[in-house]
Amino acid sequence: GRDASRAFVTGDYSEAGLVDDVADLSFSEVLTLQNWLSFYEKNYKFVGRVTGKFYGEDGLPTPALSHVEAMISRGTEASRRALEEKQTFPPCNAEWSSRRGGRLWCSPESGGVSRGWVGVPRKL
């Protein structure tokens, strides 16, 4: 086996992409990695760890794993704040065509946020 953490997020399953280097991933990408981990923990039987960047030969976590776990925590917090902002400033609908130009409007369910009003969005 080999650790292909980066490939799960980027979709690059070439030799260059099948690596465990996730240091430059965004919070969003790290959360995607966490989702993959949760999927495997839920659906597969644990049989061991891959020795390398995240676990030493003794099977213990390395500082690199602690760093990624901290990134996951920060990403989770950023995601929570973004959801709160979306509730406060819900997105609306937009469309554009070369013939008719652009149009913005809000409906009771625009952007997946329920609201008791419809109309034109206000500028943030």
* Structure confidence at residue 73 (pLDDT): 92
Please give the average per-residue pLDDT across 111-123, as a whole number. 73
Report the Cα 32 to chain-centroid distance in Å: 4
Task: Please enumerate in sequence order all residues whose Cβ is within 8 A of that of 68, keeping only pairs 6 or more positions apart, or say none.
Answer: 22, 30, 33, 54
**pLDDT exceeds cutoff 90 at 56:** yes
- pLDDT tens, position by position, 77-100: 988 998 888 877 778 888 999 999
Please give the average per-residue pLDDT across 16-29, as a whole number. 88
**pLDDT exceeds cutoff 90 at 113:** no
Which of 91, 95, 113 lies closest to 104 in space, CA to CA?
95
The residue whose two tokens read 């609908």 is 93
Mean predicted lDDT score pLDDT of the chain: 87
* Structure confidence at residue 120 (pLDDT): 64
Q: How far apart are CA 6 and CA 121, in angstroms?
A: 39
Our CA angle for 41, 46, 51, nearest 5°, is 105
